Amino acid sequence: MATIVVDGVEFEVDEGQNLLHACLSQGLELPYFCWHPSLGSVGACRQCAVIQYADADDTRGRLTMACMTPAKDGTRISIQTETAKQFRASVIEWLMENHPHDCPVCEEGGECHLQDMTVMTGHTQRRYRGRKRTFENQYLGPFLNHEMNRCITCYRCVRFYNDYAGGTDLQVFGSRDRMYFGRTTDGVLENEFSGNLIEVCPTGVFTDKPFSESYTRKWDLSSAPSICAGCAVGCNTFVSERYGRLKRVHNRYHGELNGYFLCDRGRFGAGFVNSTDRIEHVGERVEDDFFDVLDVEVGIAKLAEMIRQGDVVGIGSPRASLETNVALKTLVGEAQFCTGMSSAEESLVDLIIQTQRATSADIPSLSDVESADAVLILGEDVLNTAPRVALALRQTVRNRALNLAGEAGIPQWQDAGVSSHAQGRLNPLFIASVLPSGIDDIAADLLHDVPLNLADCGFAIAACIGEATGSEPDFVRKAAAALRSAQNPLIVSGTSTRTRAIVEAAGAVVAALESAGKVPRLLLVAPEANSFGSGLIGGGLDMNTALQRVASGSTKTLIVAENDIFRRAERERVEQALCTVENLVVLDSLDTPTASLAGLVFPAATFAESTGTFVNYETRAQRFYCVFEPRHEIAPSWRWLAQAATDAGRDDLGWTHVDDVLEAVAASPNMAGVRAVAPDAGYLGSSLCKTPRETPRFSGRTAMNANVNIHEPKTSVDEETPLSFSMEGLNRDQPSALLPFVWAPGWNSNQSVFKFQQEVGGAAAGGDPGVRLLASGSIGTMPARSASVRSDRGGVDTGFRLIPVQAIFGSDELSSRSPPVVERSSAAFMIFSPMDAERLGATQGMGVSCSVLGATFAVTVDAAMKSGYVGVSVGFTGAEGELPDGLIGLAVDPNYRPTPNPHDRVIARG
Amino acid sequence: MSEVSQLIEALSVEEVDAIEAEITHLPNRESAAIEAMRIVQEKRGWISDESLRAIARLLGMSTEALDSIATFYNLIFRKPVGRHVLMLCDSVSCYVMGCDKVRTAVCDQLGVEMGETTPDGRFTLLPIVCLGACDRAPVMTIDEELITHLSADSIPDILSGFD
Amino acid sequence: MVTLSTKPLTERVEAVGGVVDMAAYENAGGYEAARQAITKSEPEAVQGLVKDADLRGRGGAGFPTGVKWGFVPKGDAAGPGHKYLVCNADEMEPGTFKDRYLMEMDPHLLIEGMLIAAFAIGADKAYIFLRGEYHESFKQLYSALADASEKGYVGQNVFGSDFSVDLVIHRSGGRYICGEETALLNALEGKRGQPRTKPPFPPASGAWGRPTIVNNVETLCNVPGILKNGVDWFRDLGIGNDSGTKLYGVSGRVKRPGLWELPIGTTIREIIEEHAGGMQDGYKLRGILPGGASTDFLTIEHLDLPMDYGSIQAAGSRMGTGTMILMDDSICPVAISINLQHFFAQESCGFCTPCREGLPWLEQLLIDIEEGRGQPGDLELLDGNAAFIGAPGNTFCLHATGAMEPLLSALRCFREDFEAHIESGGCPYRERGH
Ligand SMILES: Cc1cc2nc3c(=O)[nH]c(=O)nc-3n(C[C@H](O)[C@H](O)[C@H](O)COP(=O)(O)O)c2cc1C
Ligand code: SF4
Ligand code: FES
């Protein structure tokens, strides 16, 4: 700690931290642009100028950039001195020379950091008389608008995009006062984290394209804290709405998890909430694909009758909340309940939980991931299955630069100095994967092979950590040596290749490191937002058994909650079951192949219209809150189930509030912590109000429905949650789990987030939200290698073995029904080795048809693919479910026309 | 394989060799970015999008990253230039010695403004900062030749030497 | 007793009457100093000599060269990898034409200086960062380097010793800012030539993150003489407090513009009147930019100042590169300020706000004043902005500081001209027919 004096007042701050960071952490107001807590300082904008005094006798001092100056014991500065204020106003004046005065039509208006800083510095009078420079804008793809005239050259975009996120196609061009931030030519920004530019850019250069298509000012958005439904990382988000439509998703800072950044699947994948495919009414099927709307009471009565008749099997879902899953499980009973994961996936998730229990270390949070100093990725393509993990791994390897800088006496926040000194030296990351991945550029070494061989490689590394024989392959030896000599080794793996042995191998590496006296971390991912919640709840039936049971005719009623079973098992199995069962009841938000076979459908609320809990890969239970009240008859699935059960005379589902369900959830094994995730509905903040979803400047509440009814409706009272559908109350001083949006006086942009942190970049005020359900410490034993059947590889004549390949845009069910994600994703594809492609007579871009999957796939050729195997885009048309085992015949489809690639669209510049 | 042949199509063997030779003096390939562009420009006059892509691939960097470098430097041309590049010094010593009049004479003679290329593709006119021949001001270079002690009157003669 | 040279930088050129080739250079005792140092001496001893000789950087900042060399970590402290010597031959400061002369006329002198410097700091890689437009310098250096390599003076086992150094010419892509030593390092690494933050300082972490010394051409050319003739000789060459000779240049309306090697500390008057032959007939001297475009104007009252670091600084300017530009009475101070500010605005790297946005605004204001659109208050606007942009530390690097030196001093020295423009709504000089 160091004591610094700011305008005569003493503050205790972190020694060596830069003064801007230190001042903001103390709640002092000091404008800035180019500095970012995650990106460090570069001293480009000169906005954070303060006067620094040599000592107590120095009365003149000299101007210095706070972000570039370390806090030392006795440092004396002034923010308020006239010269400093004038200089900061001058910086704004310089920036404003060319900045367009288009705030009224700018999507950033009202949450613009430049607006805030302009007001803060007090620059009001324009003295520049020249013309403004203008630029042409570029088409950057479906996610982002580009309006270069608004640029203030703070460099944050390229520093985030290139240095932080590893992108290469967004750059700075030109020099002097003609700096251009964009691409060489129009085109889709490739990086998977491009959406963060919206929040990183302090003005309106990069704005949210889907949002601007039906735009609302920030102050007119109602928002609630939420959890991303895109994958098992569980990034914290702010979800915002207006007029009952989801408008946008922003990052909600979480110190241990997502920090300041989301991936593009998460940010742009929520559009399915507004889909025209939404199920909005209770319906009864009268003939194929044709449903009659039922009165709610009638629908519930019908379901109640089925429940009364008994013989009900329930299939839950890893994409549904804990609440819904527990409700269904309670309704049908453990023995009749299936988690809704595929059998293969469920056994893998069980294996992961068993493995995690057996390790001595906690499951790493993403900030733990970033502090690792050697990493092995075994068989998991995290960039496509848990994208935010990949972004964290980029920081893990970059930590080498921070260490080198530390040794050279360069402050860690001195971003440019750190990288010019490090010259690209990275912490070691080893990737053993089926195919090249988007983070290969940061890998120390790569190995590409089929899943079982990757598992072998993992076991070999484990053995080599114990004792090297000297005859190991290079990759194995190097990886083992790096992990062994690391302080904080990390192993990353997961379920996506559906290979038990890979997870077992990851466990073996961890066990070997533990035997070698290390405290290794193990990060294992599963695909969905609540995969781990489902795993912890468990069920008496696995998917294949459940389907078999149903298909055998012994089940009268099958209730499926928020699940498309066709994605969970092979088509035939599913069809057999769903067509056999007498009553198929589906609760879901979107029309799916499963829903279309149902006799009775209930409209389920999405994460945006309901309140519930997801459990992420860390087994962190996190609450998402209803952002807006669902339209029509849409309601949370658990409520439909509870009502019908109560109607049927059951007394154990008499729940009216989420809190009631949560009490039931908390009673289940492993779930004790869920009540503590967030306050109960009755919680009132320090203002003795509920936490408002609307901003203090929310406007037009009385007018927004005037086209329908000129009477001002009473705002509905939210009895479910500690949040209100109104503007009264404070967004500040709330438990972090309740934070509905960031805003603080003078700070209308998302930069106000520092007002909601314990210190800049530290834990959220009041602690980072969420409760880990699995206690740390080694419980049970590390699963040993199970016997796996080694099957022969395939070939053109015999048929191929299929290996699942994941895609960030397209493999996930819900996000791939969001329009911008659809536009960004490719057609279903298969990846061949060059030799197989040649033998098959297929070249890049041609189509191959597969009769087993009943679909055609675009051909991709990759030299890393092993002959006899074919990578298949899972989750895409034709490959939605589990891929079939065995050798699968493929043939070139002469009629295949690749769907026109939306990326190639020529869009007028403007 | 096809990549190499594509590369060769966009860059000549001599160019690739010269760039590779440059790389041997440097700790990594990207460090040769500026020299590589100079080498190609010497042969072709400018750096086309195609050349840019080929050089980027040769150096193992993205086209955008190379373009970012290209557009920073005054002497890397990302637009086609004429057969001769005339760079007229407009810095302070030449200014004191009357380079404005020389510029007017050059522009009048060629019928284009600074920054432009004559319609017949003979000359591209560019301003240049101090050429380090201030004792012989005003000065200019045409291609690699330094021409000193300019005056408005001497321009027609000088230009006629370049076709 | 041998009479020692008084013009160690230019005597051979004068003797030969043209480019000094390998034979001529060796005839004049060339490469002896390097041979002696590398085969018989120790790096620390060489550093000591240069430090004792009080050689100060001739690139503009005047930092003591031996002291700078001493910052390079030695032995294990340097860690594994190369150490670099970089010769700053980017000469782009308007009005400066001294390094070009040395490289074109006596390239072996620079090569020898670099050999000794590389030996002194333990560099195994040396680069000449050469201005891209200096085609003749490139040719001369290239062939001299080929000759030197052939003789085994550069490359592996220099002079048969176990010291090896690679010497490579890097031609710049062309930007003034690349002369700034940290921007130069980025440019050398093939990146955008933007300045770097300090720390790290180049001697600790420079090119490719390794210890690096950047020295100006003229600085390095002084090194062989010091080793050959000794510390005392070098110290005695200077007239005042500084040591050695200096290449002084004059451009503008003088009778004999040119470049001369003179004892450091020669007065401005002597340089202008004796060596440059005084002003051309019909022109009167009004202002002097003593050491390039980025130094403050001096006026005729400063003519008797010695051109050394301390004296010029005391008068409120900088010796800079020592090549002065004279402003005569036909030149409008506003117009010359436009010319200067245009240069600095164009050559701004664009990284930091005050320089990127401030300089073009000031140029615009000056154009307004020159063209009769000046308004009351414009001079105060110029004063205020220039003071903010010009204070060292307010911008990221010293480019903008350098840009404001001639402007702030012009506003001070020629204020009445600026005022007259605004009052009369135009440029009085143009009306006078200039
Ligand atoms: C904007 C700017 C441009 C510069 N240009 C040059 C240059 O062209 N040549 C040079 O030798 N030094 C130049 N310098 C000075 C260098 O940064 C550095 O101080 C010098 O090369 C060190 O060499 P010395 O110690 O031998 O003088 C420049 C400095 C600045 C701030
Ligand atoms: S002062 Fe700033 S913009 Fe100007 S050259 Fe230096 S870093 Fe670049
Ligand atoms: S925030 Fe300090 S210079 Fe930009």
**What would the pLDDT profile of B32-83 be if each residue is shown by its tens digit?**
999 999 999 999 999 999 999 999 999 999 999 999 999 999 999 999 999 9
Report residue A796 as tokens. Answer: 């053109």
pLDDT at A786: 85
pLDDT at A685: 83
pLDDT at B6: 56
Tell me, yes or no, whether C394 and C268 share the same domain.
no
Average model confidence (pLDDT) across chain A: 94
Mutating to test ligand 3, I would choose from A30, A67, A116, A121 the residue with most ligand atoms within 8 A of its C-beta, which is A67
Per-residue CA distances from C202 to B63, C397, C398 (Å): 29, 15, 16
pLDDT at A242 over 80: yes
pLDDT band (50, 70, 90) for residue A787: confident
Ligand 3 midpoint to CA A51 (Å)? 14
Q: What is the nearest CA distance from B157 to chain C, expressed in angstroms?
A: 23
pLDDT at A488 over 70: yes
pTM score, two decimals?
0.96
* C6 within some domain: no
Tell me, yes or no, whether C372 and C324 share the same domain.
no
Ligand lying nearest the CA atom of residue C347: 2
Pick from A76-85, A355-364, A433-442, C181-190: least confident: A355-364
Interchain pair B37, C173: CB under 8 A: yes
* C138 within some domain: yes
Tell me, yes or no, whether C283 and C418 share the same domain.
no
- The domain spans of chain B are 3-72, 84-160
A176: contact with B, CB 8 A cutoff:
no
Task: Work out the average pLDDT over A284-298.
Answer: 90
Q: What is the nearest CA distance from B124 to chain A, expressed in angstroms?
A: 20
Cβ C234 vs Cβ C225: under 8 Å: yes
Ligand 3 midpoint to CA C358 (Å)? 16
pLDDT at B25 over 50: yes
Cβ C182 vs Cβ C198: under 8 Å: yes
pLDDT at A753: 96
pLDDT band (50, 70, 90) for residue A906: very low
Ligand 2 pocket, residue C352 CB under 6 Å = yes
Ligand 1 midpoint to CA C180 (Å)? 5
Q: How many folded domains does chain C comprise?
A: 3
Select from C237, C261, C294 the last residue of a domain: C237
Cis previous bond, C200, omega within 30:
yes
pLDDT at A156 over 80: yes
Interchain pair C353, A172: CB under 8 A: no
Separation CA A531–CA A619 (nearest Å): 10
Task: Work out the average pLDDT over C377-387.
Answer: 97
- Span between the terminal Cα atoms of chain B, in Å: 42
* C172 within some domain: yes
Tell me, yes or no, whether C316 and C379 share the same domain.
no
Cβ A677 vs Cβ A771: under 8 Å: yes
pLDDT band (50, 70, 90) for residue C434: very low
Helix (H) or strand (E) holding C198: none
What one-letter code names the amino acid at C165? V
* C341 within some domain: yes
Classify domain B3-72 by CATH architecture. Orthogonal Bundle (1.10)
pLDDT at A288 over 80: no
Of B132, A610, A865, A576, the residue nearest C172 (C-alpha): B132
For residue C433, is it left (φ>0), alpha (ψ between -120 and 50) or beta?
Answer: left
pLDDT at A457 over 50: yes
> What percentage of chain A carries pLDDT values higher than 70?
98
Tell me, yes or no, whether C291 and C386 share the same domain.
no
Taking each helix axis as running N to C, give the angle between helix C98-105 and helix C135-150, from 0 to 180 degrees, rounded to the nearest 10: 40
Tell me, yes or no, whether C168 and C260 share the same domain.
no
Tell me, yes or no, whether C295 and C338 share the same domain.
no
What residues make up the domain containing C271? Answer: 245-328
Task: Work out the average pLDDT over A239-268.
Answer: 97
Tell me, yes or no, whether C342 and C397 share the same domain.
yes
CATH number at residue C27: 3.40.50.11540
Q: CB atoms < 10 A from the CB of A73, how many?
A: 10
* C381 within some domain: yes
Tell me, yes or no, whether C345 and C254 share the same domain.
no
pLDDT band (50, 70, 90) for residue A902: very low
pLDDT at C283: 96
Per-residue CA distances from C198 to A193, A227, A421, A647 (Å): 31, 42, 11, 74
Ligand 1 pocket, residue C175 CB under 6 Å = no
Tell me, yes or no, whether C339 and C322 share the same domain.
no
ipTM over 0.90: yes
Select from C328, C346, C363 the last residue of a domain: C328
pLDDT band (50, 70, 90) for residue A791: confident
CATH number at residue C261: 3.10.20.600
pLDDT at C150: 96
Pick from A610-624, A698-712, C177-191, C215-229: least confident: A698-712
Interchain pair A175, B61: CB under 8 A: no
pLDDT at C362 over 50: yes
A877: contact with C, CB 8 A cutoff:
no
Separation CA A434–CA A345 (nearest Å): 18
Task: Work out the average pLDDT over C179-202.
Answer: 95
Taking each helix axis as running N to C, give the angle between helix C107-121 and helix C135-150, from 0 to 180 degrees, rounded to the nearest 10: 60
Separation CA C207–CA C213 (nearest Å): 9
> What percentage of chain A carries pLDDT values higher than 90?
88
> What percentage of chain C carries pLDDT values higher than 90?
95
Ligand 2 pocket, residue C395 CB under 6 Å = yes
Instruction: Give residue-wise pLDDT tens across range C314-336.
Output: 999 999 999 999 999 999 999 99
A417: contact with C, CB 8 A cutoff:
yes
Mutating to test ligand 1, I would choose from C92, C93, C318, C359 the residue with most ligand atoms within 8 A of its C-beta, which is C93
pLDDT at A903 over 50: no
B72: contact with A, CB 8 A cutoff:
yes
pLDDT band (50, 70, 90) for residue A910: very low
pLDDT at C205: 94
Interchain pair B144, C135: CB under 8 A: yes
Separation CA A297–CA A55 (nearest Å): 78
* C2 within some domain: no
What is the number of the ligand 1 atom nearest to the C-alpha of C397?
Answer: 31
pLDDT band (50, 70, 90) for residue C337: very high
Q: What is the nearest CA distance from C231 to chain B, expressed in angstroms?
A: 31
Mutating to test ligand 2, I would choose from C399, C404, C405 the residue with most ligand atoms within 8 A of its C-beta, which is C399
Separation CA A266–CA C265 (nearest Å): 69
Per-residue CA distances from A709 to A200, A244, A586 (Å): 40, 16, 35
pLDDT at A907 over 50: no
Per-residue CA distances from A84 to A62, A87, B151, C226, C388 (Å): 9, 5, 50, 47, 10
pLDDT at A904: 40
* C3 within some domain: no
pLDDT band (50, 70, 90) for residue A908: very low
pLDDT at B1 over 50: no
B vs C, Cβ pairs < 8 A, gives: 138
Among candidates B49, B65, B71 on the partner chain, residue whose Cβ is nearest the Cβ of A168: B65
Task: Work out the average pLDDT over A286-290.
Answer: 81
What is the number of the ligand 2 atom nearest to the C-alpha of C397?
Answer: 6
Select from C274, C299, C328 the last residue of a domain: C328
Tell me, yes or no, whether C399 and C259 share the same domain.
no
Nearest 5°: the CA angle C213, C218, C221 is 85
Return the SS3 of C1.
coil
Average model confidence (pLDDT) across chain C: 96
Interchain pair B65, A171: CB under 8 A: yes
Higher pLDDT, A635 or A784: A635
Choosing among 3.40.30.10, 3.90.550.10, 3.20.20.140, 3.40.640.10, the CATH entry for B84-160 is 3.40.30.10
Of A106, A173, A536, the residue nearest A352 (C-alpha): A536
- State CA C393 to chain mean position distance: 21
| Per-residue three-class SS string for A493-514 | EECCCCCHHHHHHHHHHHHHHH
Which residue of C184, C212, C356 is the best one to mutate when testing the A interface, meaning the one whose CB has the most A CBs within 10 A? Answer: C356
Tell me, yes or no, whether C231 and C372 share the same domain.
no
pLDDT at A543: 97
pLDDT at A900: 52
pLDDT band (50, 70, 90) for residue A741: very high
Instruction: Give residue-wise pLDDT tens across range A551-591.
Output: 999 899 999 999 999 999 988 899 999 999 999 999 999 99
Per-residue CA distances from A767 to A256, A730, A742, A756 (Å): 10, 18, 16, 10
